[in-house]
Amino acid sequence: MDIPYTSKPRPDTGLYNAKVGIWLFLASEVMLFGALFSSYILLRMGADKWPGGMLNIPIGTFNTAVLITSSITVLMAWVSLKMHNFAKFKLYMGITILCALGFVGIKSIEYKDKFTHYQVWLNDKDKTTYTGHIEGNPWFLSHNKMDAKKMDHIMFTSDAAHGAAAGGHGGHGAAMKIERKDIARLSAYVPAHSTYFAIYFTLTALHALHVIGGATVLAYFWGPGSAMWKTDPERFTNRIEVGGLFWHFVDLVWIFLFPVLYLL
């Protein structure tokens, strides 16, 4: 027995079932991201200081453009099927998947930059802090890990010749030797670094998981799943529409994440 209303609309809703299903799912997603955005507001309003300029705006802008481009290409993939042009569907969906891979790749580079970027707080009476890189570009090093590895010093290249400014991508000073005994705290730009990075990684990693999940489904439709076009073209077109709706939602979330995390 066939599953009813996979292609034709139900008389009561006027929609095929998958479309009702995806909108119900997206409604739950609105609440999920809404809860995290409200957490962001509470954390930010409750903070004495909120760091700025911690993220690379040109890279974030480029990634926004990549995601917007993928949004129209997934739409054009659906339009192509509506116009019975399977070759164009393959082209547009292929571009969408490449954009998704590009987005995740660029995000990975941003993450790697954060995991190898450090802030060190010294024990001196001025409570001096420096931001910069450690020789050898280790990932996730901390004062506790220094103790575990019995490291007695680090060679630290500060973002600026001096200063306590958080973040920044300023000019690099000369490498300096910092003894372990002089370090009160050492942290990479990881969630444990600060409230800012905790909410930044929570929001962007959850979004990136959505990108990866969505791209996996779209890649299936582009590859083996596209065999359905020959057997049930209307249902396949509906699948692309549903996948596209999820993809647009992922784009929509990023439209808010970008200014909130990168610019404000």
Partner 1 sequence: MADSHDVSKHIKLYVGVFLALLVGTVITVGMYYVHFSSLAMTIGVALLIASIKSFLVAGYFMHLTAEKKTIYVILGITVVFFIGMMGLCIWSLLDTPGPKGV
**How far apart (Å, rounded) are the C-alpha atoms in residues 122 and 150?**
18
CB closer to partner 1 out of 226 and 237? 237
Determine the Cα–Cα distance for residues 235 and 193; give it in Å rounded to an integer: 48
**What minimum distance in Å lies between the beta carbon of 112 and partner 1?**
23
User: At its nearest, how many Å lie between partner 1 and the CB of residue 227?
Assistant: 22
What is the DSSP code (8-state) at residue 261? I
Please state, in angstroms and rounded to a whole number, the distance separating the CA atoms of residues 216 and 225: 11
| Whole-number Å distance between alpha carbons of 183 and 140 | 16
Cβ atoms 234, 40 nearer than 8 A: no
Q: How far is the CB of 36 from partner 1 (least distance, A)?
A: 11
- Whether 135 contacts 175, CB under 8 Å: yes
Least distance from partner 1 to the Cβ atom of residue 158, Å: 25
Return the number of the residue (64 or 131) whose C-beta is nearest partner 1.
Answer: 64
CB nearer to partner 1: give 57 or 161.
57
Pairwise CA distance, residues 67 & 247, whole Å? 9
Q: Please compute, for residue 201, the number of CA atoms within 13 A of its CA located in the half-sphere on the CB side.
A: 15
Which positions touch partner 1 (CB under 8 A)? 9, 13-15, 19-20, 23-24, 27, 30-31, 34-35, 38, 41-42, 45-46, 48, 57, 61, 64-65, 68-69, 71-72, 75-76, 79, 82-84, 234, 244-245, 248-249, 251-252, 255-256, 258-260, 263-264
Instruction: Kindly tell me which of 141 and 240 has the beta carbon lying closer to partner 1.
Output: 240
- For partner 1, the closer of residues 35 and 209 by Cβ is 35
| Minimum separation from the CB atom of position 191 to partner 1 (A) | 21
